[in-house]
């Protein structure tokens, strides 16, 4: 009899030679529990997913209610399914009036794919502009607009007519022109190591897009759904996108994503060709029920109001000579060290000896990822910071105060 770990290694496709290999039996709130009762504090929320914590009771209740009614019925866009319709309506209510039409998909990368097609369909243009070090997903369209040549090289040819500009560099905005169908940007860059917009970058970007008739697609797949302290991160910058993307935290632990646009624009998928964008499982009713409950939890339980104070509580405690700085917005943070060589043993030690799960970033390997469930308590933050500092001390040999 092979153990689950052996089966995982032998029969599940692997994406690296160094998977975490943590075995989790159950999870609750900010905690994950192993088969022998070990517990781990989840400081990364399944990479930005468990914003309302693992197995939030209201999310579980909504899933249970939907299980008793129906699962999949029909491909997207044909039948009236109440969980989909109510979710679309509730999403619209969190947004500026023009973002009134929701296309439900299964994941972040699918939201990107749908939005890129919609932008081409709507503008009749082909060029797509995105940022260096952006991560938008692993399917071929989303990969094309992602900004790491290292991740793309082996999979070319990808989409033609993609141009990359530097995030936060207003000088590069002139490269957005009348040829540009859309600019796709993360409101806060995630896998680049949490890069926050500076010097009115998003306002300049918004203005340039409007000037030349290019659509602005904001990818809030990682930074939306309350992560930064407002329901959507763009709210903090006084701008709005033409198309908004969400996924990850949206489902409260269930798979779902969406791209959201004005109805007149979305009508592009109804003709030339009819059925211009299709998905079998997009907007799965159980995922939609979970997403609606998640949205209500974020709105009703005061989670947004506490994000800034919780982030400040982390920042005030994460002080050590080896820490070069903390970047971030709300509970989407990066703690910078000198190098991966310093950081990796800290992450490993924190997991193995302190029961704290963290990570680094795809395109930034000297920074530690901090994105706990927004439900994390003050006591849990203090516990996590003490554990991380012990790990840093152990690995660097440097005490906290010098």
- Which residues would be at the binding site for ligand PMP (CB under 6 A)? 47, 107-109, 112, 135-137, 186, 190-191, 219, 221-222, 247
For the sheet containing 39-42, what is the strand order?
A: 26-28, 31-33, 39-42, 356-357
CB of residue 11 vs ligand PMP: minimum separation in angstroms?
Answer: 22
Residue 100 or 110 with smaller CB distance to ligand PMP: 110
CB of residue 193 vs ligand PMP: minimum separation in angstroms?
Answer: 12
Residue in this structure with the two tokens 């989407």, named with its chain if needed: 332
Residue 42 or 191 with smaller CB distance to ligand PMP: 191
39 half-sphere exposure, CB direction, 13 A CA radius: 9
CB of residue 48 vs ligand PMP: minimum separation in angstroms?
Answer: 6
CB atoms within 10 A of CB 55: 15
C-alpha to C-alpha distance for 114 and 135, rounded to whole angstroms: 16
Residue number closest to ligand PMP, CB atom? 108
CB of residue 235 vs ligand PMP: minimum separation in angstroms?
Answer: 17
Burial class (CB in 10 A: 0-12, 13-18, 19+), 161: middle
Residue 306 or 360 with smaller CB distance to ligand PMP: 360
Residue 139 or 396 with smaller CB distance to ligand PMP: 139
Burial class (CB in 10 A: 0-12, 13-18, 19+), 151: middle
CB of residue 134 vs ligand PMP: minimum separation in angstroms?
Answer: 8
Residue 99 or 371 with smaller CB distance to ligand PMP: 371
Q: Compute φ and ψ for 391, nearest 5 degrees.
A: -65, -40
Residue 106 or 366 with smaller CB distance to ligand PMP: 106
Residue 248 or 310 with smaller CB distance to ligand PMP: 248
CB of residue 85 vs ligand PMP: minimum separation in angstroms?
Answer: 23
CB of residue 222 vs ligand PMP: minimum separation in angstroms?
Answer: 4
Cis peptide upstream of residue 157 (ω within 30 degrees of 0): yes
C-alpha to C-alpha distance for 170 and 205, rounded to whole angstroms: 8
Cβ atoms of residues 216 and 204 within 8 Å? no
CB of residue 119 vs ligand PMP: minimum separation in angstroms?
Answer: 16
C-alpha to C-alpha distance for 105 and 248, rounded to whole angstroms: 12
Cβ atoms of residues 222 and 187 within 8 Å? no
Residue 50, token pair as written in the block: 């468990």
Cα radius of gyration rounded to whole Å, the chain: 21
C-alpha to C-alpha distance for 133 and 307, rounded to whole angstroms: 26
* Plot region of 194 (φ>0 → left; ψ -120 to 50 → alpha; else → beta): left
Residue 59 or 112 with smaller CB distance to ligand PMP: 112
Residue 107 or 375 with smaller CB distance to ligand PMP: 107
CB of residue 364 vs ligand PMP: minimum separation in angstroms?
Answer: 13
């Amino acid at each position: 009899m092979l153990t689950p770990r052996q089966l995982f290694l032998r029969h599940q496709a692997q994406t690296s030679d160094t998977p975490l290999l943590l075995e989790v039996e159950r999870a609750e709130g900010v905690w994950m529990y192993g088969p022998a009762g070990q517990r781990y504090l989840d400081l990364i929320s399944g990479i930005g997913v468990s914003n309302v914590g693992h197995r939030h009771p209201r999310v579980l209740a909504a899933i249970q209610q939907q299980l008793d009614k129906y699962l999949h019925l029909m491909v997207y866009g044909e039948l009236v399914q109440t969980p989909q319709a109510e979710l679309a309506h509730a999403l619209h209510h969190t947004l500026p009036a023009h973002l009134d039409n929701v296309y439900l998909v299964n994941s972040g990368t699918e939201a990107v794919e749908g939005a890129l097609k919609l932008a081409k369909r709507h503008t009749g243009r082909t060029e797509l502009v995105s940022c260096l070090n952006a991560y938008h997903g692993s399917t071929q369209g989303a990969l094309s607009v992602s900004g790491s040549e290292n991740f793309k090289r082996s999979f070319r040819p990808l989409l033609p007519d993609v141009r990359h500009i530097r995030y936060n560099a207003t000088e590069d905005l002139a490269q957005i022109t009348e040829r540009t169908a859309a600019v796709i940007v993360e409101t806060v860059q995630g896998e680049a190591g949490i890069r926050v917009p500076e010097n009115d970058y998003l306002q300049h970007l918004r203005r340039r897009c409007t000037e030349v008739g290019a659509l602005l697609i904001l990818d809030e797949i990682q930074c939306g759904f309350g992560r930064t302290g407002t329901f959507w991160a763009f709210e903090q910058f006084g701008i709005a996108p033409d198309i908004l993307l969400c996924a990850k935290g949206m489902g409260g632990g269930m798979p779902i994503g969406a791209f959201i646009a004005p109805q007149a624009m979305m009508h592009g998928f109804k003709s030339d060709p009819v059925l211009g964008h299709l998905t079998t499982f997009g907007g799965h009713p159980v995922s939609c029920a979970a997403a609606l409950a998640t949205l209500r939890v974020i709105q009703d339980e005061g989670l947004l109001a506490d994000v800034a104070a919780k982030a400040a509580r982390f920042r005030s405690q994460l002080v050590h000579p080896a820490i070069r700085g903390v970047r971030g917005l709300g509970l989407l943070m990066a703690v910078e060290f000198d190098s991966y060589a310093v950081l990796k043993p800290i992450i490993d030690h924190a997991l193995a000896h302190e029961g704290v799960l963290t990570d680094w970033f795809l395109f930034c390997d000297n920074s530690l990822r901090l994105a706990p469930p927004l439900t994390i308590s003050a006591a849990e933050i203090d516990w996590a910071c003490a554990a991380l500092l012990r790990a840093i001390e152990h690995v660097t040999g440097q005490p906290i105060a010098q």
